[in-house]
Structure 1
């Protein structure tokens, strides 16, 4: 689901970039034991204006980044933010139908995108498909209580059915073939999860 005008403005605002780089990225990195990277191939679902690509490249050490977004405007903006980068592939795409082969990526990132996806369970399954065994799914997202309330419904456009909380997303990840490495839950409002795709031996 595409963002409305207000949410597009908020996502593009410099404070959002600052918050993501200075607060969210260190918290996500702290989910890992020890150093992260280099990461040969990473994917971002719902890349927006492209600030997440910077974090994936610089903070997580991704050598090649693929990024998708449902909105062609966002795709154009992300490409314009990173012109002439041979390590980057940005394209229009749907998180529920990822146009990549099985076992293509070492790490996949969700920077608050799944709560925009009506069939978020299918998106989780798709992430599991394109991740290599042992690869990581790095998630930060908003939960049902934040998006299914009168104020949020008035200001933003989010799916209101089939929404999730912390327990829901952990259960779906495990059903899709992930093990939960570490998870943090902020009062059932938002959470961060590091999930690893199981290998054939576990």
Structure 2
């Protein structure tokens, strides 16, 4: 699902960008066991390109392939990442237009909870990761999406949401096994983790 105007404002501002560049980059650096130097990285749901910028500048990815369902966001990402080692496209996480086993790492900066058929999204991520490839994820759990604030001001699928244990069980079902304990941040607003493809 595309973001509404309130969510766009919340996700596309200097505070959010600074948080991604500093705190989220540090979390993913730790969960990855270091940087992503030399890696071909897939970002699912690129928004206006801040995540790809973080992957290149903070985690030192060699190349980032990124897509988003919203063509307006992809155009903003193109402007932001002009002449950077990034491939951008409009795309659907449930039908990733990349070959099987083509990426070293996939990164989810809080996109999968927007996807009605999130299990299919995980299956697609597993498909495009090479053996021993890594998924780094940051997600919002069901009990947060069910709060009055989220129901009133954001647009998310209402059915078939997940808590961290359900999310990691689905990862395991597709051969993506956790590399560390799930961490909760921002007062439980999000959970983060990493899983490696067996």
TM-score of the superposed pair, with normalisation by structure 1:
0.93
- Is contact 2:138-2:193 (8 Å) kept? yes
Q: State the secondary structure of the residue aligned to 2:42.
A: strand
Structure 2 unaligned regions, length at least 5: none
Greater than 6 Å deviation, 4+ residue runs: none
Aligned residue in 2 for 1:55 = 54
CA distance in 1 between counterparts of 2:79 and 2:64 reads 15
**What is the CA deviation profile of residues 39-60 of structure 1, one whole-angstrom value per residue up to 9, with x for unaligned ones?**
3311100000110001111222
Aligned residue in 2 for 1:11 = 11
**What is the CA deviation profile of residues 20-64 of structure 1, one whole-angstrom value per residue up to 9, with x for unaligned ones?**
11211111211133x323133111000001100011112222111
Q: 1:30 aligned to 2:30?
A: yes
Q: 1:136 aligned to 2:134?
A: yes
Distance 1:183 1:106, change over 3 A: same
Across the aligned residues of Structure 1 and Structure 2, the Cα RMSD in angstroms comes to 1.3
Aligned residue in 1 for 2:182 = 184
Structure 1 unaligned regions, length at least 5: none
**What is the CA deviation profile of residues 76-115 of structure 1, one whole-angstrom value per residue up to 9, with x for unaligned ones?**
0100101123x21000000000001101100000001011
- Is contact 1:46-1:70 (8 Å) kept? yes
Q: 1:21 aligned to 2:18?
A: no
